[in-house]
Amino acid sequence: MKGARETILEAVGETPLVKLQRVSAGLAADVFVKLEFLQPGGSMKDRLAIHLVDEAVERGKLERGGTIVEATSGNTGAGLAMVAAVRGYKSVFAMPDKVSHEKIAALRAWGAKVVLCPSSVEPEDPRSHFSLARRIADETPGAVLANQYFSQANARAYYKSLGPELFAQTGGEIDALVAGIGTGGTLTGAGRYLKEHKPACQLVAVDPVGSVYYDKFRSGRDTRAFAYKVEGIGEEFHPPSMDPKLIDEMVRVDDRECFSMARDLVRLEGLFCGGSSGAAVAGAIKYARARDRKENIVVVLPDGAAKYLSTVFNDEWMRDNGLLGGDGTVRDLLESKGGRAMITARPDDTVRHVVQTMKQHGISQLPVVGDNDRLFGIIAEVDVLRHLVTGEGHLDGTIEHLVESDYASVTPETRVDLLQGVLAEAKIALVTEGRRLVGLITKIDLIEYLSRHT
């Protein structure tokens, strides 16, 4: 019949672009949102899923009746499960155990098998969902690993679909594309197309507190990942599916900002979108506020609210996880310290100078900064001790090779209740604004603050 699609897969793409009104009030920029949560499978990953399966078939890796295996936080799995249902494949997904019940139930509704894995382990750990997916694919006859994190097909999918669609929809009048980064394929794939056709277009990545991307972008150092609640964005390693050289700016948000904005988008704009969509818009507003100029900013809203009704949109869950109410922000904590001077070191300082500084001020670790207070890392007394005990170092050498990354970085807007979890795992929390170090918080600082506010 005229106007009908052959299958649901042909309905993927061509999602609406809508201007925000209330949550972006007061900004000089106009902020538009790309409603990818209206895709048939519920997320922007439908575009990727079709592309990954098509490439696997073309390469002869996936045959009729075969099995699609993937490590997923839910959305890529949903897209792949939808493709598998339409084309007659089987599907198996390894997922981190922090994902919502709705995502797991949706995959099983499509006929997929789901295996849950601990989310607090390293990607190389045999228990991680990455390792398990590889093992299942290796041990299952006729199976193929979709491999979204490690395949260049990821970015190609968005280069071929989302990029051209955005450019045509906006008539080329797009000044910045903002998206949360997980695999990074969406932003750098679509962004590459946009930059080829409009080189001035800025690509802005949004990363949650706890992920490794932000510190790598700001300081070039690999830092530890820490637990966070928002799903689908952020990562504990740097997947090759992303080209970081294309990213112009990166904005950090925390769980509370992500979820608060998601709830506002539903209640104030009527957009039934999820937590990672809230993250992207919160980041876009921070970016627009810092730029304070008339421009057109487009934000990708990856998935919908239906997958998070038991979490983000559940007051009891939010309260249990310290995401409603709270004890103030990092900025409040820093101000409560009464303007106490921050003591730092530089990469070219000598070991002797650092030892004297630690002894003089009675401290065991120092942030290390370069020009313009740009964060370089930290140095701790245990590193100095190890350096001297081995006999390979001396007091008049510089500390540059002793600087380490065992710290967490937060922003002044980070909530104190989130900071409690961060400092349970990290030695120290360094507070950054843009590329500048503006403060530091130790465990005793947090204890003193909480004791005054309890």
**DSSP code of residue 343:** P
User: Hey, what amino acid is at 259?
Assistant: F
Instruction: Give me the catalytic one of 24, 34, 45, 195.
Output: 45
Q: Is 45 noted as a catalytic residue in this protein?
A: yes
Within a 13 Å sphere around the CA of 372, how many CA atoms are in the beta-carbon half? 7
Q: Exposed, middle or buried by CB within 10 Å (0-12, 13-18, 19+), for 60? A: exposed
Residue 102 φ/ψ, nearest 5 degrees: -65, -40
Q: What tokens were used for 365?
A: 């670790």
Please answer whether residues 240 and 150 qualify as being in contact, where contact means their C-beta atoms are separated by less than 8 angstroms: yes
Give the Cα-Cα-Cα angle 361, 364, 368 (nearest 5 degrees): 90
Q: What tokens were used for 242?
A: 């992303």
In the three-class reduction of DSSP (H, G, I as helix; E, B as strand; rest coil), residue 341 is classed as coil
Please answer whether residues 205 and 181 qualify as being in contact, where contact means their C-beta atoms are separated by less than 8 angstroms: yes
Helix segments in 39-184, DSSP class H = 45-58, 75-87, 101-109, 129-139, 153-160, 162-170
**CA-to-CA dists, residue 30 to 20, 279, 300, angstroms:** 8, 18, 14
Q: Is 427 noted as a catalytic residue in this protein?
A: no
Q: What tokens were used for 398?
A: 């510089």
**CA-to-CA dists, residue 296 to 162, 360, 428, angstroms:** 17, 52, 38
Exposed e or buried b per residue across 423-446, where buried means at least 16 C-beta atoms within 10 angstroms of its C-beta: beebbbbbbbeeeebbbbbeeebb
Instruction: Give me the catalytic one of 91, 276, 277, 409.
Output: 276
- Active-site positions read 45, 276
